[in-house]
């Protein structure tokens, strides 16, 4: 398996522009998570899905952030409009709760480094 | 989700054993203890998980005392490539999400 795939790996945009981050989870996994990591705030959970349904979006910082999972193999995280304080590394992770090495083992993608100028 | 406390940073030298202790005084009966490792510019990676006593795999050992209020991740004979941030997490097996704290930044020197 190729693991969790994220695109793009790097994104540089200007303030006010729309940004879309993409994630392909591991095939067969039923949970998908979006995280954001910064030096100041560490690794924060933004939102997660179970069987394509959003379960908890309490970590989404503002209405400018939205996430969708139209099918089991694809999810997007959109920021519109983007602001400089959104600059961070965004990780996608997936898991299959009932299997794996251990309970709740999450498999992370390589991340998307977003820079908003 | 139980709160965890671990040292912000640790230094070691190649070939030494490193022990990182995590405190979780409010751990619940159904909670498991899980450790993740994050290398620079990568996402976190699962290392080991345990409920009580000792767990060992090819990467590390996890020691959990009887009261389960703390746990120790042990890395035998570290190398430069073990330089990473190590996160201790506590949660029940039926908990969907993980809450990452600040982690312990381990720096291994030659």
Contact B93 A103 (CB under 8 A): yes
Low-confidence ranges of chain A (pLDDT < 50): 100
- Which residues have a Cβ under 8 Å from the Cβ of A77 and sit 6 or more positions away? A20, A21, A23, A34, A46, A47, A65, A66, A67, A90, A92
Confidence of residue B101 (pLDDT cuts 50, 70, 90): confident
Q: Which residues of A touch B103 (CB under 8 A)?
A: 42
DSSP run (H or E) holding B45: strand B45-50
Q: How confident is the model at residue B99 (pLDDT cuts 50, 70, 90)?
A: confident
What's residue A99's pLDDT?
52
- Nearest Cα of chain A lies from the Cα of B93 at a distance, in angstroms, of 5
pLDDT at A102: 58
Q: How far apart are CA A24 and CA A49, in angstroms?
A: 13
Evaluated on CA atoms B74, B76, B78, B82, the torsion sign reads: negative
- Helix H segments across chain A? none
Whether A11 contacts A112, CB under 8 Å: yes
At B32-79, the pLDDT tens digits run 999 999 999 899 999 999 999 899 999 999 999 999 999 999 999 999
Residue-level pLDDT at B36: 95
Closest-CA distance of chain A to residue B16, Å: 27
For B18-25, what is the mean pLDDT?
A: 95
pLDDT exceeds cutoff 80 at B95: no
Whole-number pLDDT of residue A98: 62
Strand B104-109, strand B31-38: pairing: unpaired
Instruction: Grade residue B1 by pLDDT with cuts at 50, 70 and 90.
Output: low
pLDDT of B76: 93
What pLDDT was estimated at residue B97?
Answer: 75
- Work out whether strand A65-71 and strand A74-79 pair parallel, antiparallel, or are unpaired: antiparallel
User: Hey, are the CB atoms on A102 and B49 less than 8 Å from each other?
Assistant: yes
pLDDT at B80: 96
Of A15, A33, A8, A2, nearest in space to A111 by CA: A8
Contacts of B96 in chain A (CB under 8 A): 31, 48, 50, 55-56, 97, 104
Model pLDDT, residue B98: 80
């Amino acid at each position: 398996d190729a693991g969790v795939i994220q695109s793009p790996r790097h994104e540089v945009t200007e303030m006010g522009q729309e940004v879309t981050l993409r994630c392909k989870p591991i095939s067969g996994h039923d949970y998908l998570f979006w995280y954001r990591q910064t030096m100041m705030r560490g690794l924060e959970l933004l939102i997660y899905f179970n069987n394509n349904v959003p379960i908890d979006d309490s970590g989404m910082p503002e209405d400018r952030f939205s996430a969708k999972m139209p099918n089991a193999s694809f999810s997007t995280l959109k920021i519109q409009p983007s602001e400089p304080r959104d600059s961070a590394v965004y990780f996608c992770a997936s898991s299959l709760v009932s299997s794996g090495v251990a309970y709740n083992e999450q498999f992370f993608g390589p991340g998307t480094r977003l820079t908003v100028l | 989700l139980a709160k965890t406390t671990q040292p912000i940073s640790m230094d070691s030298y190649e070939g030494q054993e490193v022990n990182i202790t995590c405190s979780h005084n409010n751990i619940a009966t159904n909670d498991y203890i899980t450790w993740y490792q994050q290398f620079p510019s990568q996402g976190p990676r699962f290392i080991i998980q345990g409920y009580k006593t000792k767990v060992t795999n090819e990467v590390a050992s996890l020691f959990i005392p009887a009261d389960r209020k703390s746990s120790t991740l042990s890395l035998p004979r570290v190398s430069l490539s073990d330089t990473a941030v190590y996160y201790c997490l506590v949660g029940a097996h039926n908990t969907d999400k993980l809450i990452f704290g600040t982690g312990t930044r381990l720096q291994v020197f030659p």
